[in-house]
Structure 1
Amino acid sequence: MTEFHIIGGEFIGDYLSKHHDVVTDIVKNTYLHHHNGNTENPDSYFLRFRDSPSDRIIALPSAIYPEETAGIKWIASFPRNVEHNLQRASAVLILNSLATGYPYACLESSLISANRTAASAVLGAYWMNRQSRTTPSIGFVGAGVIARTIGNFFVRQEWKINDIVVFDQHTDSADHLVNYLCDAGQHAYTASLSDVLACDIVIFVTTASTPYIETAFQPHQKVLNISLRDISPDVILASQNICDDIEHCLKASTSPHLAEQRSQGRDFIDGTLAGLMTGQFQVREDKPIIFSPFGLGVLDLALGKYLCQQAIATGNALTVPGFFAETSRW
C-alpha cells in the first residue's frame, strides 16, 4: 500500500534545533556523494512574474542513488515580504520513491533550506579556515533568517569568536541579529559596512541582485558568498575561489558567472568544497578565499528524507488516508 505523509514545520524546527551536528554530517556526506557522481542535480527552474521582477519561485529537482530517493524543492523568494515582517522565503519539499516514482511525503522546507544553507556555510568556513573553529572576527552583511541560522550554527558548533559584527540596511534587522547573538553568549555589535568587510570571515546574506563590493579582500580573509551577487567580478578574479558545483554556480549572473564572462575562462576557480575536503587542492596563503555555494537540491533532499524517517519513527508525521484514490491498474 502506498502511503503519503505530511511533516510540518513545528516538528522540523524542533528537531533541527537539537541536531546541528547531524545536519552538518548529512550536508558533508551529500557533497561527497555528489562529488562521486552518485546524484542527479539538474538546473534549477525559475518562475518569474511580469509585474514583480524581484519575486520568483524556484524548482530544484534532484535524486540521490544511495538514498533511493528523488524529489523536488519548490521555494518562493518574495523580498518585499520583509516590509510586512514576513519571511522572504517559503518552501515545500516533495519526496519520491525511486522504486515506483510515487511521492510519499511533503515537508515544510523553508527550515530545511535555511539549515542546509547554514550547515554548508559553516562547513565551508571550517575547511577554508584550515579545519579550525577559532577566528578573531566574523562579519555579517545582511541580517535575515539565513544570517540568524548561520550564526546559530557557529554558536552550536562551539566556534571561538572574539567579535561578531553586523551590517544591514535595515537597522532594526541588524539590531535583532545582534541581540540574538548576544543572548547566545557572543560579543556582537552593529557597525558600518566597511567594518564588517574587514573581518576575518565575511558572510554575505543579502537580496542584492547586482555587485557593489569593489574593494579586494586581504589574503587572510575567508568569504562566504551565500547570496552570490554582492561581489564584483574583479574581486572574484583577485581571490581563490571554490563552489559547491561549478556548472551550477556559473549561471544566473552570479558573481562567479560575471567573472567567467569577464575573464573568458574558468581558471580562477580552484574546485569545489568536496574537492577541498578530499585534498584535491589546498587553501592558498597569498590570496583571500571565497566560497560560492549555489545551493544544491540534493542537500534539501538528503536532509528531508532523514527528517521524514525521524518523523515517521516518532509519530510526528501525518499520514493522509486515501491520498492516492487508485494505485492498481485494474
Structure 2
Amino acid sequence: MLVLRKADVGEILNGKEKEHIELVRQTYALHAQGATAVPHSTFLRFPDDPANRIIGLPSYRGGKSPAAGLKWISSFPANIHSGIPRASAVMVLNSLRTGHPEALLEASLISAARTAASAALAADILTEGRSPGGVSLIGCGVINFEVLRYLGAAIGAPGEIVVHDPSPARAEEFVRRCHELLPDAAISIADSVEDALAAQRLVSFGTNAGEPHADLTSAEPGTVVLHVSLRDIEPLSINGAHNIVDDADHVCRERTSLHLTEQMTGSRAFIDASIGQLINGTVAFTPDPDKVTVYSPFGLGVLDLALAVDVQATAREHGIGIDVADFLS
C-alpha cells in the first residue's frame, strides 16, 4: 500500500495545470462515450447537524488505462471560522487484477485541482473565439483560487479580477493572494454578488451556499458562468439560461440549482448538452448571444480517479510517499 500525504500530493500536482486540464478533457470524452462507471455519489448527512456532510464517490475509468477507486470527502463549513479547511478527503485506488487497495492518497488537493481543471476547460470551450479579458470570482476560498490558477493555464491569465465574499476580511486576504499569483492584474472587491456578476463576462461561483441566493439579471448577455458550487443560482435564472453540465443524472440531485429547476419545470429540457458531448462533437451548441451560459459540473468521481492515478504513477516513479508493504498481511 502506497501512502501519499498532503505534502507528497502537493509536490506532485504543482505546476501541472495544463496536464490536469488535458486529463480532465480525456476523461470527460471517455465518460460521454460510456467508457466509465460512475455510480451516484453517496451523501452521509447527520440528523442533528445538517450543515455538515461526507460524500463517497466511487468510480471506474475504462479505455487504455483502466482504473478504479473511491474518494471520501467531508465538507464542514464551520471549519473556516477555526482557521482550518472546510473540506478534507482521502482517495483509495484498487487493483483491477485482485481488487486489493494499493494506494491511499490525501485527496483534498486532488479534488480542488480536478474541480478547477474542469472549470477552466469549460471556460476555454465556452469562450472559444473571444477572450473574456477578466473574471469575477464569487466566493473567496480554496476552489476559486484554484480556478484562477487553472484559468491562466487554459485561456491566459486574466488582466482584471473582481472578487466578492460575504466576509470582507476573507475578500481582502484573497486579494492579497491574487496579487502574489498575478502581480500585473487589476484586482478589486465588489460590494455585492450583483456587482460581481455585472463586472465581467466570465464568472465563477465557488461558495458553500446551501440554497440559491443569486439571479443572473445583472450579468451581461453572453456571460459564461462557472457554477462550480452548484447551489447559488435561482431556478428561474437557470431555466432562462443556456446550461452545460458534466452529467445530467448526477447534477440533478441533492437540491442543486438544476435539481430545483427540474422540479420546477418537470423536465430537463433546459439542459443543452454535456461537456463531454461538446468535446466529442456529438452535440452542436450555438449559444444565443442574448443569453447567459451556465456550466454546472457536479464533480464526477472519475475525474478524481484520473488525477489520483497520475499522482500515484509519478510517486512510484520518483520514490515519493510511504510504502507499507505489510498493509494487507
Q: Which position in structure 2 is the counterpart of 1:274?
A: 276
Q: Which position in structure 1 is the counterpart of 2:190?
A: 191
Asked if 1 retains the 8 angstrom alpha-carbon contact of 2:162 and 2:196, the reply is yes
The CA distance in 2 between the partners of 1:12 and 1:72, in whole Å, is 16
Equivalent runs, 1:42-57 vs 2, <5 Å:
42-57=39-54
The CA distance in 1 between the partners of 2:205 and 2:179, in whole Å, is 20
Shift of 1:70: 0.8
Equivalent runs, 1:7-18 vs 2, <5 Å:
7-18=4-15
Give the AA of the match of 1:281.
A
TM-score (norm 1): 0.94
The CA distance in 2 between the partners of 1:162 and 1:5, in whole Å, is 42
3-state SS, counterpart of residue 242 of structure 1? strand
The CA distance in 2 between the partners of 1:257 and 1:49, in whole Å, is 21
Q: Which position in structure 2 is the counterpart of 1:265?
A: 267
Shift of 1:22: 0.8
Give the AA of the match of 2:210.
S
Shift of 1:192: 1.6
Asked if 2 retains the 8 angstrom alpha-carbon contact of 1:135 and 1:160, the reply is no
Asked if 2 retains the 8 angstrom alpha-carbon contact of 1:202 and 1:223, the reply is yes
Match of 2:306 among 302, 305, 308: 302
Q: Which position in structure 1 is the counterpart of 2:321?
A: 317
The CA distance in 1 between the partners of 2:166 and 2:93, in whole Å, is 38
Asked if 1 retains the 8 angstrom alpha-carbon contact of 2:123 and 2:151, the reply is no
Give the AA of the match of 2:195.
D
Shift of 1:297: 0.2
Equivalent runs, 1:48-197 vs 2, <5 Å:
48-66=45-63, 67-130=65-128, 132=130, 134-157=131-154, 159-183=156-180, 184-185=182-183, 186-193=185-192, 194-197=194-197
Asked if 2 retains the 8 angstrom alpha-carbon contact of 1:308 and 1:317, the reply is no
Q: Which position in structure 2 is the counterpart of 1:205?
A: 206
Deviations 1:56-84 (A, max 9, x none): 11000001122321110000000000000
What is the count of residue pairs matched by the alignment?
321
Shift of 1:215: 4.1
After alignment, is 284-293 or 109-118 more displaced?
Answer: 284-293
Percent identity of the aligned residues?
A: 38
Tell me, which stretches of 5 or more residues in structure 2 are unaligned? none
After the TM superposition, list the runs of 4 or more consecutive aligned residues in structure 1 that deviate by more than 6 angstroms: none
After alignment, is 306-315 or 65-74 more displaced?
Answer: 65-74
Deviations 1:127-170 (A, max 9, x none): 110255x2132111100011111111123446252311000011
* Change beyond 3 A, Cα 1:131–1:41: farther
The CA distance in 1 between the partners of 2:212 and 2:203, in whole Å, is 15
